[in-house]
Structure 1
């Protein structure tokens, strides 16, 4: 859209409007499927004039818009509208169920076709979410028309979230879709994007949502799952969603590491070392290093001591600042201890492993990385970092209800874990020399 003004020399000058509306909604219809389209969070990034208009009139032209969300299937004006049902299609979620939904029967038929394939959807089980609503696994199938060569059938599983009284799209993505994406990525060791989002409101509104974080071209499965639905007694999906807010941003960071988004080994090592500290703080908030009585006694002793006032002030301030929070070494040990019991081969000698992690973090945080440039030291860092990655993975799963026995069995079955285990056992013999798992 153009606006015009008269210059001091009398010339009429036209230019794009200085302030286009931001974040507005566009609704319209197309002469094809999908017919109805809603564009939410729209910004105009470029305006191109194709002809000239007199002052006070609008010139025709083209506008290039950036859209946060495109919803197909209905014309919806309000980006904050509440949806009561969401279907989330996420890479590896179907594999998580370990169910193809097909059964095969071999019989002697009259038409020479000895096999009968039956599509059998299990009864849907809904589990209550902690903050209200329900989660269930919704089975889907798509078949082609029969032909001489047979027919093609594809099955899939989506997470169905039923919300009362409802939630807006952004909340559904933040509180449900993104946490499940992180979980599938962590379990598979590969990027597991959100493949599709379908939203419903009652019986009258049903739309597909496309936008940031939705990759319709992503594969249905990727990587190798550490755990599947049948491997755990408790509902890991529900527990994970219930803890997502408490644990954030640790699952997202760990998922980005497993997805290969961290560019270098040094960056990954320092990132995970910092994430370890963050996870401890999230699980054990305001854990006191000293009691209130110990703090007060120390302050009294400092006040009575003969020392310069500046030093007294500094020591008193240090007591106040370091009252809460254990030293980094203790944080690492507290987090790793349950993992050492569940999967001993991940940690080896706990005290030695802890010291190695603390030393690596100290060197990287303070730029003392000279020795890491040597090939042997570099591979040692890579191996130690991989064990730290697995420790954080196991610790999150334990926190979300996976038992030590279930986790140990999963690690024993996993080719991914076995491959990484060989690395750290080779480069850190002093830590894992006594490990006999």
Structure 2
């Protein structure tokens, strides 16, 4: 059983990885977004000698002051804790000091905050990971991996519930960057006043990683999966637990990091657009491999899709409209209106045709002459999306006109920007979100007939189309799709 102080902290002793013999009593606090250690005496000095000068009377005058800089520390500790005694805290910085007496000679308490920590092992500051396991809200539903069967005796006098654990799903990442596995285990049966039942426990496991840091683990592997699931479910899928193997690969260590959110037992049931069965484990690995190409656009879109109290509609329109341009640049970097040499030639002709005092202005104005226009970028993305979601933008010409006006108006703070009907603008923002979502989901490489069918069946999307025809009939006339 875990022992905790009344404030939720765990008592123990702590020391720097550079001075293993200097152990200091303290408390480990895991109740905030980042782990903290409150030490009963300082592990680093608050003041250092800045200078010493000789006074006229022969006395020595010492000037004290804070250190110029204090490097981040790696702290080890042993605590009274139910999960593990050993703890390592990485990148620790002093956030508070509390002392009695002018120079803290009687008592000084030092609080350090770590960027992250692991419970279960002592590791050095260069610790890297090859294996990781994580969960997120709704992972059991999204993966839908449980399989039950009910058998009755012929006379109905008895019955038997059977559970068959599904096989693990595994797929490799591109360029030998690791593997992704979905593993489901059966939990012990539970009994209550309403009867008994089973539940299952699914984990996403990353293995054979190329010795990654915690930042690389989150940004290149866990983050992409979380954004994919959020796009599929329209609900925040931030991880609720992360575990990594220690350096000997002998023990799972629980990670405490700001990206890990507290799990809530009572949640609304998921009604996802796409499940793991639709996307496929190969689709997950394809998405991870493609993520860096389109980041941070998926995070922006999923944040808007999953937020109950997000940005103003004007902000959403501007961010989503700008994201469309960015997405096209990333997906089609080679698309040009003309070659660079042709653009240079046209720009040179334009420079030479105006007075010398205007030549530089003309040259700068035509600097991106070979790039597609915003309109052309939107059209190409719509061609991609309307293959799987016909009618998503209603009247294409009117929709393009409204998006361009809104984007330019908000980006350049034009006088008439935002003076239209707020409901029509909201419909526009919703359509931008769906266009981006559907185009991004194609990066999984999943069967487009499946995604097209799921889109037609997805109630939030059909509700959007109904709303758009009422709120913005210019772009979605009653006769549209």
Q: TM-score, normalised by structure 1?
A: 0.87
2:394–2:480: 8 Å Cα contact kept in structure 1?
Answer: no
**SS of the residue aligned with 1:39?**
strand
Task: Specify which of 9, 23, 27 is matched with residue 72 of structure 2.
Answer: 23
Aligned equivalents of 2:266, 2:123: Cα separation in 1: 29
C-alpha spacing 1:422/1:22, structure 2 compared with 1 (3 Å): farther
Q: Does 1:412 align with 2:417?
A: no
Partner residue of 1:270? 318
Partner residue of 1:186? 231
**SS of the residue aligned with 2:199?**
strand
Aligned equivalents of 1:369, 1:299: Cα separation in 2: 32
Summarize the alignment of residues 200-349 of structure 1 with structure 2, pairs less than 5 Å apart: 200-201=245-246, 202-218=248-264, 223-232=270-279, 235-260=282-307, 262-299=310-347, 301-302=349-350, 305=353, 307-319=354-366, 321-349=367-395
Aligned equivalents of 1:173, 1:187: Cα separation in 2: 19
**SS of the residue aligned with 1:61?**
strand
Partner residue of 2:9? none
Moved more, 309-318 or 171-180: 309-318
Task: Specify which of 207, 210, 228 is matched with residue 162 of structure 1.
Answer: 207
Is the helix fraction higher in 1 or 2?
Answer: 1
Cα offsets for 1:161-182 (capped at 9, x unmatched): 1124432222111111111111
Moved more, 245-254 or 120-129: 120-129
**SS of the residue aligned with 2:131?**
strand
Moved more, 257-266 or 34-43: 257-266
2:343–2:370: 8 Å Cα contact kept in structure 1?
Answer: no
* RMSD of equivalent CA atoms: 3.2
Offset, 1:155: 1.7
C-alpha spacing 1:290/1:342, structure 2 compared with 1 (3 Å): same
Cα offsets for 1:56-110 (capped at 9, x unmatched): xx653211221211211112223x3222211121223322212234433333699
Cα offsets for 1:257-284 (capped at 9, x unmatched): 1122632111111010111111111111
Offset, 1:148: 8.7
Aligned equivalents of 1:39, 1:339: Cα separation in 2: 46
C-alpha spacing 1:300/1:190, structure 2 compared with 1 (3 Å): closer
C-alpha spacing 1:240/1:59, structure 2 compared with 1 (3 Å): farther
**SS of the residue aligned with 1:431?**
coil
Partner residue of 1:171? 216
Task: Specify which of 94, 111, 115 is matched with residue 68 of structure 1.
Answer: 115
C-alpha spacing 1:49/1:92, structure 2 compared with 1 (3 Å): same
Aligned length: 427
Summarize the alignment of residues 72-83 of structure 1 with structure 2, pairs less than 5 Å apart: 72-78=119-125, 80-83=126-129
Partner residue of 1:397? 441
Aligned equivalents of 1:255, 1:16: Cα separation in 2: 47
C-alpha spacing 1:104/1:61, structure 2 compared with 1 (3 Å): farther
Unaligned stretches of 5+ residues in structure 1: none
Aligned equivalents of 1:37, 1:192: Cα separation in 2: 27
Partner residue of 2:95? 45
Moved more, 37-46 or 116-125: 116-125
Aligned equivalents of 1:168, 1:292: Cα separation in 2: 40
Aligned equivalents of 1:234, 1:436: Cα separation in 2: 36
Cα offsets for 1:382-434 (capped at 9, x unmatched): 01110110000001112331343222211111111111111112223243337
1:69–1:209: 8 Å Cα contact kept in structure 2?
Answer: yes
C-alpha spacing 1:19/1:44, structure 2 compared with 1 (3 Å): farther
C-alpha spacing 1:209/1:168, structure 2 compared with 1 (3 Å): same
2:337–2:372: 8 Å Cα contact kept in structure 1?
Answer: yes
1:288–1:323: 8 Å Cα contact kept in structure 2?
Answer: no
Summarize the alignment of residues 367-406 of structure 1 with structure 2, pairs less than 5 Å apart: 367-368=413-414, 370=416, 372-373=418-419, 377-406=421-450
C-alpha spacing 1:218/1:280, structure 2 compared with 1 (3 Å): farther
Unaligned stretches of 5+ residues in structure 2: 1-41
Aligned equivalents of 1:155, 1:90: Cα separation in 2: 14
